[in-house]
Amino acid sequence: MSCNGPLIEDKEMTKNGGTHSVTSSTPMPPRRGSVALLPNGIPVDGVPRADVLEFYTHGDGAIYRSTDSLAKLYFLYDTSETELEPMMRSEPTEYCSPNWRCCQTHGPSTMMQIFSLKLAYPPPAGDQVQVYGFMAVRDTLDPLRNYVFNRSRDDPFLVKQEDGLIQMSGPKRGIRWHDMALVEFDMWIKRGDNKEDDLQLIDGPVWFNDRTSTHARVATKRIDGDYGSVDICYALLHSAMEATVHIDVAELLSGFSLSGTAI
């Protein structure tokens, strides 16, 4: 054991059926320690921590074997993606006004808006961090995974040193907030050609159940892992409606950068 952490050992079969150890050339760094707390329980860096649920890890399959009420409510044993599409409120429902037969307005609900994911500790200048894996939200409208990040090991996202932002790939549809929502994640840092050299960034679920959150108050919570942390920036929107915006570019003469704001 060195200050750089243990080396990884792989087992390879020999021609006559035995095994021998092959040591990886990439040493494992030490795991990140727990964040220090002030006497009042607030982290010394001032960033609120998300409470990662223990015993719901993906690497050992524990999250899929759980049979408690939380696992049943959010179908944690099912890795399927949600089948609900955007604009799910386009069709009349029993909550329409004045009624579903002559729908004029749709009933609003509380929704969760995720603005960004960010590597809490960006790499030093000149270094690169390749992140892969997934982060998905499970709500009570449809407990199946609604991905906000989903990258394979063959297609990792390269985190830039300047901002540490992780490009989101979703969500596929609006996130309903009916008192609570579960954010599930299994994210990794790619380090070389072999999966055994990779580092587990964060693993498990976080149960967001803050019923008293102020409308549209943007909050950031840090999800700590053994080899890094991810900041999730979000807000709860009361009496909200899902909207789909379609933008057509009428004419393009050269390269451009597009951004939009909705009020």
> Partners of 206 in the beta sheet?
52, 183
pLDDT at 141: 83
Summarize pLDDT for 116-145 with one digit per residue, the tens: 999 988 766 667 789 999 999 998 888 999
Sign of the alpha-carbon dihedral angle for 191, 195, 198, 203:
positive
Spatial separation of the C-alpha atoms in residues 263 and 261, rounded to whole Å: 7
Question: In this predicted model, what pLDDT tens digit does every residue of 138-178 receive, in sequence order?
Answer: 988 889 999 999 999 999 999 987 788 999 988 988 888 87
Per-residue pLDDT of 72-96, as tens digits, reads: 989 999 999 998 887 655 666 666 7
- d(Cα 136, Cα 150) in Å, to the nearest integer? 8
How high is the pLDDT of residue 183? 94
Neighbours of 133 (CB within 10 A): 23
User: Whole-model pTM?
Assistant: 0.76
Q: What is the distance between the alpha carbons of residues 31 and 199, in angstroms, rounded to a whole number?
A: 10
Phi, psi of 72 (to 5 degrees): -70, -40
